Amino acid sequence: MTRPVVILADNGSRRAAATLSLRAIAARLSQVLGTSVHAVSLQHADHIPAQRLDGEPAWVLADFLRAQLSQGRRRFVVVPLFFGSSRALTSFIPEQVAELRKSFTDLQVDVATPLVPLPDGEPRLVDILADHAAACARTLGEQPDRIIVVDHGSPLPQVTAVREYAARELAERLPHATIEQAVMERRDGPEYDFNGALLAQVLARLGSSAPSVQRVAVLMLFLLPGRHAGPGGDIADICERAMQQHPGLKIAVSPLVGEHGLLTDILSDRLATVMMREHGAETLSHEG
């Protein structure tokens, strides 16, 4: 059988920096694997002008699959650049594939597990966060009094569980640190209280009760730059405003998870698991 087309997929953004970062991660993964890895977003990225992407338009999943199918490709493996099992993986991709199968009945798309499959988790994500906490400590000049793990926020408990896992395991790794959690977005209503408090609210609480100086490390559980994370994002603005409003706060913001070298190792393993599963199925088919 021919080797499948390998896709590294993120949810997608209208910001060029996100697509360029996705491409950089795909390029590193390609180098490690010795095979082409295509950077493809599920949606949104096709609205970015090509001139902001070094002249190369961004692909979204449906368009990329159609283009490959027209060239005779039928087997694909999607490696999700997602922390947990969001609706993008459980609904969006299956719906896109089902629509394409109406015209290409032999289309085969396998989706690897996300970066942090629960309940097993992913210790290397905790390694990344520990490294980023150490980087924040260097910026602050000493160990932080508080570490806040912040993610986008999700209405799905199984996605929030990834942040909770990361914070819990980081607390085990750094027993002398006080770990808190925060989100950038959450829905109103007590039924979404599991999602946690907004980052601005957590910083305001810490600032109001701060001694002369309270050092805070904000660890971004974000993979790519975008509206919230990265240079010029909301997180940086919120932290800057918090320090202006509360002179007792001294805040350092971590790099993105997507910038850490260990991410490539995790993605490589996720792809290897799918390929081993496919190879096993192929072997059984030949033996039968």
**Tens-digit pLDDT profile for residues 72-130:** 999 999 999 999 999 999 999 999 999 999 999 999 999 999 999 999 999 999 999 99
Q: What value does the mean pLDDT of the chain take?
A: 93
Confidence check: pLDDT of 281 > 60: no
Where does the chain show beta strands of DSSP type E?
5-10, 37-41, 75-80, 108-111, 146-151, 179-183, 214-220, 249-253
In the predicted model, what is the mean pLDDT of residues 12-21?
Answer: 96
The two most distant CA atoms of the chain are separated, in Å, by 73
Q: Residue 286's pLDDT is what?
A: 32
Phi-psi region of 196 (alpha: psi -120 to 50; beta: other; left: phi over 0): left
Please tell me what DSSP assigns to residue 73: -
* Closest by Cα among 171, 181, 172, 176 to 220: 181
Please check the confidence at residue 285 and state whether its pLDDT lies above 50: no
Residue with tokens 């283009």: 67
Structural domains present in the chain: 5-114+260-287 (3.40.50.1400), 123-255 (3.40.50.1400)
DSSP state of 50: G
User: What integer pLDDT is reported at residue 125 of this predicted model?
Assistant: 98
**How much is the pLDDT for 131?**
98
Q: What is the pLDDT of residues 159-216, one digit of tens each?
A: 999 999 999 999 999 999 999 999 999 999 989 899 899 999 999 999 988 667 799 9
Q: Does 66 score more than 50 pLDDT?
A: yes
Helix axes 123-140, 157-173, angle to 10 degrees: 60
Q: Is the pLDDT of residue 276 over 60?
A: yes
Helix (H, G, I), strand (E, B) or coil at 171: helix
Local structure of 16: helix, strand or coil: helix
What 3-state DSSP class applies to 11?
A: coil
Residue 23: DSSP 8-state: H
What tokens were used for 284? 């059984």
- The helix (H) or strand (E) run that includes residue 238 is helix 234-245
Say yes or no to pLDDT of 279 above 80: no
Contacts of 284 (CB under 8 A, 6+ apart): none
How many CB atoms are located within 10 Å of the residue 98 CB?
11
DSSP 185-208: ---SSGGGGGG--BHHHHHHHHHH
Q: What is residue 135's predicted lDDT score, i.e. its pLDDT?
A: 98
